[in-house]
Amino acid sequence: MQNHFDVVVIGGGPAGLSAALILGRSRRSVLVVDSGEPRNAPAAGAHNYLGREGVAPRELHRIGRQEVVSYGVAVTDGRIVAASATPTDGPDAVAFSVTLDSGRRVTARRLVVASGAVDVLPDVPGLAEQWGRGVVHCPFCHGWEVRDQRIGVLVTSPTGPHHALMFRALSDRVTAFVADPDLVDATARAGFAARGITVRDERVARVESDAGRLTGVRLGSGEVVALDALAASSTAEPRVEHLDGLGLAVEDFVVDGFRFGGTLPVDGTGQTSVRGVYAAGNVTTPMATVIASAAAGTQTGAAVHGDLVRADLAAALAAVPAGQPTR
Ligand SMILES: Cc1cc2nc3c(=O)[nH]c(=O)nc-3n(C[C@H](O)[C@H](O)[C@H](O)COP(=O)(O)OP(=O)(O)OC[C@H]3O[C@@H](n4cnc5c(N)ncnc54)[C@H](O)[C@@H]3O)c2cc1C
């Protein structure tokens, strides 16, 4: 079994597989390790992916795997549980080692972190069971599917009013549930009134379902409001727990002064704060859609190849005997 690669890609979602695809086509030796838990797994289809509109998330992964394997990329099911970097004197400057949950250890010249994000959901009983189906978060991902329906919007952050207006563009039957009146100022209330959004200043105590289908919300008072869909925001945390050994910097992802999760910052090439460790997709940008994550993976894979080309050139030049003409 091969245990040294040019590049190990951590995560085989749209970002990781796109990085692997361009690296495989550049004749790099690549291993993709994927634990098989894509962020959008609960959803029936991934929307706004041109050419594969509505494709089931796991089907997109299956197709992507087939495509990268056809260029010699190795893909394995598993989870990276540890990673470390060792400085070297050579042109690569650093050597990486990763450990899989099977105990297998693999070394690489570069790492691409494409492990995505995990959604931390509002603490409302019954909500998690409907996440990605009756409970939606993104008007672009699921809005068309709930158009013209009775949509509730859980206002839990300062961006909640804007969220409600986004769903109002899809249906004229929108109700905003506001647990904390401080989140909705007079301007936002005037906007709700102008756009015909019903406001309920009450806490949602439970999401109600029947036979797996969302039927409404139960308020703190016990009243049940019938709905077809509920929009709610999550906090998206980057999946980086396996990278502690690399000392990567993780930052808060803040919108309108409210923390919506975290990000692994990268520069324009996908390079993280640790030389030789690149990242792409939701781990760096929680708002990135599937096609944006795939695009970031492609750009990052190209940058990694360019980085390795420079290292290969430095190694070749260093190997030229002293005094030998170089042309
Ligand atoms: C409910 C829901 C529905 C959505 N619907 C849409 C939609 O319709 N259209 C759209 O454009 N976007 C949608 N999104 C956003 C979409 O999920 C992301 O844009 C996309 O998943 C990001 O791709 P990624 O490759 O960065 O991460 P992911 O797709 O999450 O892939 C990351 C992969 O890395 C693996 N992984 C994690 N940790 C490790 C580890 N330690 N070792 C090995 N593997 C690991 C995971 O198992 C996973 O397979 C939706 C999001 C949610 C929550």
Nearest CA to ligand 1 atom 4: 40
Across 19-33, 84-98, 117-131, least confident range: 84-98
Confidence of residue 257 (pLDDT cuts 50, 70, 90): confident
Which atom of ligand 1 is found nearest the CA of 33? 43
Phi-psi label, residue 276: left if phi above 0, alpha if psi -120 to 50, beta otherwise? left
- Specify the ligand 1 atom closest to the Cα of 117: 30
Residue pair 134/209 in contact (Cβ under 8 Å)? The answer is yes
- Exposed, middle or buried by CB within 10 Å (0-12, 13-18, 19+), for 182? exposed
- Give the residue, by CA position, lying nearest to ligand 1 atom 17: 40
Q: Where are the beta strands (DSSP E) in the chain?
A: 4-10, 30-34, 74-77, 80-87, 94-100, 105-113, 117-120, 135-136, 151-155, 174-178, 198-200, 204-210, 213-219, 224-226, 229-231, 235-238, 251-255, 258-263, 277-279
Give me 45's structure tokens. 């289809």
Ligand 1 centroid – CA 219 distance (Å): 32
Q: Which of 222, 304, 251 is nearest to 6 (CA)?
A: 304
Can you read off the two tokens belonging to residue 195? 């756009």
pLDDT, mean of residues 60-72: 98
Q: What is the pLDDT of residue 133?
A: 96
Output the pLDDT for position 223: 97
Q: How confident is the model at residue 327 (pLDDT cuts 50, 70, 90)?
A: low
What's the 163 CA to ligand 1 centre distance in angstroms?
21
Residue nearest to atom 48 of ligand 1 (CA): 38
Q: Which residues line ligand 1 (CB under 6 A)?
A: 10-16, 33-40, 42-43, 46-48, 79-80, 114-116, 119, 132, 141, 239, 242, 281-282, 288-291, 293
pLDDT value at residue 323: 77
Q: Give the ranges where 145-225 is alpha helix by DSSP (H).
A: 160-168, 186-194
Q: What is the pLDDT of residue 241?
A: 92
Distance in Å, CA 90 to ligand 1 centroid: 35
**How far apart are alpha carbons 56 and 46 in whole angstroms?**
6
Q: How far is the CA of 15 from the centre of ligand 1 (A)?
A: 8
Percent of the residues in the chain that have a pLDDT greater than 70, as a whole number: 99
pLDDT at 261 exceeding the cut of 80: yes
In sequence order, the β-bridge partners of residue 175 are 152, 198
Identify the pLDDT of residue 325.
Answer: 66
Q: How far is the CA of 88 from the centre of ligand 1 (A)?
A: 34
| Run of H or E residues at 306 | helix 290-319
Ligand 1 centroid – CA 89 distance (Å): 37
In tens, the pLDDT along 273-313 reads: 999 999 999 999 999 999 999 999 999 999 999 999 999 99
Q: Are 57 and 63 in contact (CB under 8 A)?
A: no
Please give the average per-residue pLDDT across 49-62, as a whole number: 96
